[in-house]
Structure 1
Amino acid sequence: MQKRTYVLLSLAFLLVFSAVGAVLHMGGHQAMAKEKHKKTLVMGTSADYAPYEYIDTTKGNKIIGFDVDVAKHIADKLGYNLVIKDMDFNGLVPALDSKRVDFVMAGMTPNAERKKKVDFSSTYYQAKQLVVTDDPKIKTIEDLKGKTIGVQLGSIQEKEAKKIADKVDKVHIEKRNKVPDLVQEIMSKRFDGAVIEDGVAIEYLNKNSDLRAFEIPDSATAGSAVALQKGSGLTADFNQQIAMMKKNGELDKIADKWFEPKSKKKAEKKSIVDFSTIMPSVPYILKGILTTLKFVVVSILLGFVLGTVLSLFKISKVRVLRWGADAYTSIFRGTPLILQLLIIYNATPQLTGYKIEPFLAGVLTFGLNSAAYVSEIIRAGINGVDKGQREASMALGVSYGSMMRQIILPQALKNILPALMNEFITLTKESAIIAVIGTTDIMRRAQIVGADTYRYFEPLITAGIIYYVMVMALTVLGRMLERRMSRGD
């Protein structure tokens, strides 16, 4: 009885911790929304596209940039507070289509495919297309023969890269989710170059003396516009404000602030590994621990409770319950976790109209997925308990529910505790994939720091150390529970 009480107290502690985390999470949103207007507009963006939108990790979690300043100006003039949501670029149009955001500003160029799903304002900035490379021998598109060039997935630069491939033989095109990924691939010598628009490329050229660029001849002049929901009543208002900003010089003023070329002074040669470069951004990465812990704790609780129910279904004498539990386990163990995450996050608004938040989508995905594995672990533990225990309970007239709750499950839990802790540790590590839906956990923050500093080894190793410490803490907790239960306390 004491063992059962101890386990329940442990779970209660986890529940309290998650509740506290949820309160802090809500408090953060309230603070963000505390502005001078009563109405709010939600802007979707991909904050890896400096100087359009990016995060200065040395100064906190704030998204800044050209698009942000333009959006703030327009929102203020229209009488709205501005709330910004960060996500992958290729998820922006789906987010707008599913009404998760009111508008999108991310250096996005209107094209026929996008216009089928969303409306666009008039253009507010014109850009040129460049090939960025670190190879001094590549000076024209003809020099790209037999080379590999990168483009951002879902961007206008994809079409420019295809035009190059049509003109030059044996040009291989690779796609990545983010522009910083393209630059990193160039620096890692996996790409020979990348197609990036001038307003973005200038930031990388200013910060890295090894990079150079040339303009693509006859390239389409990309015009950035605001993407809005289909049939949005805000389109006319945005067009009016953009026209006014062009007329009074406000757009030029903001553009000069963000697109002004910086000194071409050659950067100092840094050592291969230099953690001092990212030290100012380490507090930013550490803030992701709270997000990761909240996510992991709630997912573990959901997975354990649902897994227990499924395990009881699997040993039930009711065939329908056994079949349903086995089918559930088969589906969640037989499909990739990231596929389940994207289905829940992207398909839920399409099927139900409910705008599911990234945190909730992640918790549901990992909780439901973990339940499939936990159910098998608990089922094995229950089957491992001596059948004489059940027979004795039945002979004494103990009800099935009391027998499972007070006799069988406590013994099973003692036997399967190492396997359960292993599942929880695995979930903690796998939680890093929630970065793909824009949740600012440890991994996402490490990637942002890498994009901001152009150094990836140091922030990723820092993230690895944080995950390792968390896993070791879980391991110690598991051993403490094992020792406590083995003593029969």
Structure 2
Amino acid sequence: MFKKTHVLLTLVLLVIFSLAGNVLPGQHQAAAKEKHNKTLVMGTSADYAPYEYIDTAKGNKIIGFDVDVARHIADKLGYNLVIKDMDFNGLVPALDAKRVDFVMAGMTPNAERKKKVDFSNTYYKAKQLIVTNDPKIKKIEDLKGKAIGVQLGSIQEKEAKKIADKVDNVTIEKRNKVPDLVQEIMSKRFNAAVIEDGVAIEYLNKNPDLSSFVIPGSASAGSAVAFQKGSDLTEKFNKEIAAMKKNGELDQYAKKWFEPKTEKKAEKKSIVDFSTIMPSIPYILKGILTTLKFVVVSILLGFVLGTILALFKISKVNVLRWGADAYTSIFRGTPLILQLLIIYNATPQLTGYKIEPFLAGVLTFGLNSAAYVSEIIRAGINGVDKGQREASMALGVSYGSMMRQIILPQALKNILPALMNEFITLTKESAIIAVIGTTDIMRRAQIVGADTYRYFEPLITAGIIYYLMVMALTVLGRMLERRMSRGD
């Protein structure tokens, strides 16, 4: 039975890895038609409408002002455009690690960023607004004793600090994404947020409770394209930006994306209204495939490596035993999200290898799971009656054959419930990979929230999907337990 299971797991692993070798849905977006022979990869944070965002009701496509400008310039330079979506504060590190060729995300070329990357000339200038749902906040002085939000790593942080220097008792809160800021305002955790005017338009049009005013003297340094230090693309982009300004093409794109909507503001909706996200449900469901690929590969990697570690832990060779114990101590003693960020961000820095989000996630969860699985399997092996080993040795059965054919099958039968519990935990924790831009179920639910400005409904939908997956895994575990108890 153990041999059959081993063969089946090996076949499944090969199939999953072959699938994982393909581009995952939504992980990056290429030009619809391969018009040119060369490709440019653009990094962005697709939660910054109307600069760049995903219209989840219509599919997986990233659209917006920056996308139109980037596609126009890439085409003029003879390149196809590929877009990679990630958190805003991860864009400069991605550029530095050469995961992307350039970044367009409404980014302002401040002095700190210029130390790490090169910038083009500005292609759009904007002003900074105070956005709030408190009718009593109408000027900067009204922010006294209030909490204001800003996007982490953005130019708005400096504007908020200027306000805090002028007004007493102002608390500055930071979030990864602009939609998070708006959600915090609507939840009354923040009193206001500093948001660029071009971005704020979308929120003001769709949220009747929100109002805004311009921060005096807040004229932005403008948005520019970021490049790797010394990139020859900088001058090429500058020439195209100058040409677009001269012939009015930049103005046309700005008019398309930044002019306020003329229609009436939306009426207030009920507190819970799933009809608002119904067109985006298929978009969330597409994340199931990504999550399943990730979970299956991580489980198999964790099981195989965990078995090896368990054998090391019961070995009579001190070095192997100490090494396995140290491994378990490290991975069990540090946060999972820390391990993920170290593998994803540090690998390019240390090795020069541009590790992809999917591979980084699989390695992190597989290595982490192995630490827990090794303890489960070790306990299972030690739980097998010693008489089994003594009888095997008396019959002259080699140590390897004894483990494969006698000890491990019995141990697996005893520890199956504990293993299934570990795999269920891994399935739920897989949502963490959303932080590195992998478009799994959780990431897609967050994107829908950013697109519709409602978070309860998409997050509950994601929760239902995860619950059904866990229930399916629970049923599978019980079926395996019954089968193994019959000795099949």
TM-score by length of 2: 0.98
Deviation at 1:12, TM superposition (A): 4.1
Letter in 2 for 1:348: T
1:371 alignment partner in structure 2: 370
Tell me, in whole angstroms, the C-alpha distance in 1 between the residues paired with 2:457 and 2:12. 32
Counterparts in 2 of 1:470 and 1:348: CA distance versus 1, 3 Å: same
Q: Is the 8 A contact 1:134 1:211 kept in 2?
A: yes
Q: Is the 8 A contact 2:156 2:194 kept in 1?
A: yes
Letter in 1 for 2:117: V
2:23 alignment partner in structure 1: 25
Q: Is the 8 A contact 2:302 2:369 kept in 1?
A: yes
Counterparts in 2 of 1:454 and 1:330: CA distance versus 1, 3 Å: same
1:129 alignment partner in structure 2: 128
Comparing 11-20 and 65-74, the one that deviates more: 11-20
Counterparts in 2 of 1:457 and 1:17: CA distance versus 1, 3 Å: farther
Tell me, in whole angstroms, the C-alpha distance in 1 between the residues paired with 2:291 and 2:225. 33
Deviation at 1:20, TM superposition (A): 5.6
Q: Is the 8 A contact 1:332 1:372 kept in 2?
A: yes
Tell me, in whole angstroms, the C-alpha distance in 2 between the residues paired with 1:233 and 1:375. 50
SS of the residue aligned with 2:34?
Answer: coil
Deviation at 1:264, TM superposition (A): 5.3
1:260 alignment partner in structure 2: 259
Counterparts in 2 of 1:117 and 1:439: CA distance versus 1, 3 Å: same
RMSD: 1.5
Large movers: runs of 4+ above 2 Å:
5-10, 12-17, 19-34
1:138 alignment partner in structure 2: 137
In the alignment, is residue 230 of structure 1 matched against residue 219 of structure 2? no
2:304 alignment partner in structure 1: 305
Letter in 1 for 2:334: T
Comparing 268-277 and 229-238, the one that deviates more: 268-277
Letter in 2 for 1:263: T
1:446 alignment partner in structure 2: 445
SS of the residue aligned with 2:123?
Answer: strand
Q: Is the 8 A contact 1:129 1:222 kept in 2?
A: no
Deviation at 1:10, TM superposition (A): 4.5
Counterparts in 2 of 1:186 and 1:429: CA distance versus 1, 3 Å: same
2:415 alignment partner in structure 1: 416
Tell me, in whole angstroms, the C-alpha distance in 2 between the residues paired with 1:188 and 1:23. 41
1:85 alignment partner in structure 2: 84
Alignment of 1:310-459 (within 5 A): 310-459=309-458
2:274 alignment partner in structure 1: 275
SS of the residue aligned with 2:466?
Answer: helix
Letter in 2 for 1:292: T
1:460 alignment partner in structure 2: 459
In the alignment, is residue 179 of structure 1 matched against residue 139 of structure 2? no
1:14 alignment partner in structure 2: 12
Deviation at 1:263, TM superposition (A): 2.4
Comparing 24-33 and 276-285, the one that deviates more: 24-33
Which string of whole-angstrom CA distances, capped at 9 and with x for unpartnered residues, describes residues 388-443 of structure 1?
Answer: 11011001100000000000000000000000000000000000010000000000
Deviation at 1:218, TM superposition (A): 1.3
Letter in 2 for 1:75: A
Tell me, in whole angstroms, the C-alpha distance in 1 between the residues paired with 2:155 and 2:366. 37
Deviation at 1:373, TM superposition (A): 0.4
In the alignment, is residue 42 of structure 1 matched against residue 19 of structure 2? no
SS of the residue aligned with 1:340?
Answer: helix
Q: Is the 8 A contact 1:21 1:290 kept in 2?
A: no
SS of the residue aligned with 1:427?
Answer: helix
Counterparts in 2 of 1:347 and 1:31: CA distance versus 1, 3 Å: closer
Which string of whole-angstrom CA distances, capped at 9 and with x for unpartnered residues, describes residues 122-177 of structure 1?
Answer: 00000000000001110001000111000000000000000000100011100000
Q: Give aligned-pair identity as a percent.
A: 87
Aligned residues: 487
Counterparts in 2 of 1:24 and 1:94: CA distance versus 1, 3 Å: closer
Tell me, in whole angstroms, the C-alpha distance in 1 between the residues paired with 2:351 and 2:219. 39
Which string of whole-angstrom CA distances, capped at 9 and with x for unpartnered residues, describes residues 355-376 of structure 1?
Answer: 0000000000000000000000
SS of the residue aligned with 2:225?
Answer: strand
SS of the residue aligned with 1:125?
Answer: coil
Tell me, in whole angstroms, the C-alpha distance in 2 between the residues paired with 1:324 and 1:191. 48
TM-score by length of 1: 0.97
Deviation at 1:5, TM superposition (A): 3.8
SS of the residue aligned with 2:154?
Answer: coil
Counterparts in 2 of 1:31 and 1:205: CA distance versus 1, 3 Å: closer
Tell me, in whole angstroms, the C-alpha distance in 2 between the residues paired with 1:28 and 1:144. 40
Q: Is the 8 A contact 2:29 2:62 kept in 1?
A: no
Q: Is the 8 A contact 2:42 2:102 kept in 1?
A: yes
Letter in 1 for 2:387: G
Counterparts in 2 of 1:28 and 1:457: CA distance versus 1, 3 Å: closer
Deviation at 1:18, TM superposition (A): 1.5
Alignment of 1:207-246 (within 5 A): 207-246=206-245
Structure 2 residue runs of 5 or longer lacking an equivalent are none
Deviation at 1:29, TM superposition (A): 8.4
SS of the residue aligned with 2:223?
Answer: strand
Q: Is the 8 A contact 2:150 2:193 kept in 1?
A: yes
2:2 alignment partner in structure 1: 4
Which string of whole-angstrom CA distances, capped at 9 and with x for unpartnered residues, describes residues 194-228 of structure 1?
Answer: 00010000110011111000000112423000000
Tell me, in whole angstroms, the C-alpha distance in 2 between the residues paired with 1:122 and 1:24. 36
Alignment of 1:86-101 (within 5 A): 86-101=85-100
Deviation at 1:302, TM superposition (A): 0.6
Counterparts in 2 of 1:207 and 1:37: CA distance versus 1, 3 Å: same
Q: Is the 8 A contact 1:96 1:104 kept in 2?
A: yes
Which string of whole-angstrom CA distances, capped at 9 and with x for unpartnered residues, describes residues 35-64 of structure 1?
Answer: 111110000000000000000001111100
Structure 1 residue runs of 5 or longer lacking an equivalent are none
Q: Is the 8 A contact 1:128 1:222 kept in 2?
A: no
2:160 alignment partner in structure 1: 161
Q: Is the 8 A contact 1:69 1:254 kept in 2?
A: yes
Counterparts in 2 of 1:9 and 1:473: CA distance versus 1, 3 Å: farther
Which string of whole-angstrom CA distances, capped at 9 and with x for unpartnered residues, describes residues 86-118 of structure 1?
Answer: 000000000001111000000000011100000
Q: Is the 8 A contact 2:24 2:290 kept in 1?
A: no
